[in-house]
Amino acid sequence: MKTSLILSTYNWPEALELVLLSVKKQRVFPDEVIIADDGSTKETKTLIEAFNQEFPVPIKHVWHKDIGFTKSAILNKAIAEAKGSYIIQADGDCILHPCFVKDHIEFAQKGYYLFGSRVNIQKAHLRSLFEIKQTNFSVFSKGIKKRTRALRFPLLSRLYLPKPNFSKKYRGCNTSYFKEDFIAVNGYNEEFQGWGREDSELALRLHNYGLQGRRLRYRGIVFHIYHQEKSKNRLEFNNSIESSTKRNKAAWCENGVGKYL
């Protein structure tokens, strides 16, 4: 099974550098890394080109012009180009545990999608984080909260079984699924513009399509770097799209990935 690791980013090369360093430390590598870039300036391109000189797997940079928060569109474009049959997804501000890719691959199974835990790196720790380029964390590390989520305990993770209903613990910054299932629901709904609900609405449609979600508790861990919240000026509209998906039990969106295939 070939895997594609998708990392979404926008104008934060300092954070993306740490994420790519954490990819280099993976116990199991994906077959490729695709950067889904929502319109960053040339600094991000320069960073990716530098990493590509000595990276263990190919890095592809999928970019489009900055017209505002259009994460759904750039993720669709990136995943459309993925060569892997299995998609592992994180954000460009989430440092990966060394077993992140390994854990997602080991639990990949037809009929399911996966989602893992997110540990928060606190604002006060950012200066030290970037100065020493820290990518190693444990449950005892300084500068994190929700630290029990940093505990990797494979035996306990087996207790978390697939569920037919959507979990509010789902986060699009730590998820994986088969590409064919993503295409079957037409991927991300590009009616979403501005922050909010694009990830959860996709997961809802995957459930409506017939998949179950499995939580990777005590496995599949990421460490989210603190940043200021994005503007929520489109949240009310985005909520209405998600509510329609719930109400109509929709599995398909019209404005999705199909146009790039």
pLDDT per residue as tens digits for the range 205-260: 999 999 999 999 999 999 999 998 777 888 888 989 999 999 999 999 999 999 99
Domain 3-260 sits in CATH at: 3.90.550.10
Would the pLDDT of 195 be above 90? no
The gap from C-alpha 260 to its chain's centroid, in whole angstroms, comes to 20
Angle at 154 between CA 152 and CA 156, to 5 degrees: 95
The pLDDT of 171-199, averaged and rounded, is 95
pLDDT per residue as tens digits for the range 44-78: 999 999 999 999 999 999 999 999 999 999 999 99
The pTM assigned to this predicted structure is: 0.97
Q: Which of 146, 97, 91 is nearest to 120 (CA)?
A: 146
What are the residue boundaries of the structural domains of the chain, listed by start?
3-260
pLDDT of residue 232: 82
First to last CA, the chain: 21
pLDDT per residue as tens digits for the range 146-184: 899 999 999 888 889 999 999 999 999 999 999 999 999
Cα(57)–Cα(196) distance, rounded to whole angstroms?
31
pLDDT per residue as tens digits for the range 80-110: 999 999 999 999 999 999 999 999 999 999 9
Would the pLDDT of 111 be above 90? yes
**201 in Cβ contact with 242 (< 8 Å):** yes
DSSP H or E segment with residue 67: none
Calculate Rg over the CA atoms of the chain: 17
DSSP H or E segment with residue 255: none
DSSP summary character for residue 143: T
DSSP H or E segment with residue 35: strand 32-37
Q: Which of 70, 120, 125 is nearest to 223 (CA)?
A: 120
Q: 241: which residues sit within 8 A by CB, 6+ positions away?
A: 189, 191, 192, 197, 201
pLDDT of residue 222: 98
pLDDT of residue 196: 81
Percent of the chain whose pLDDT exceeds 90: 90
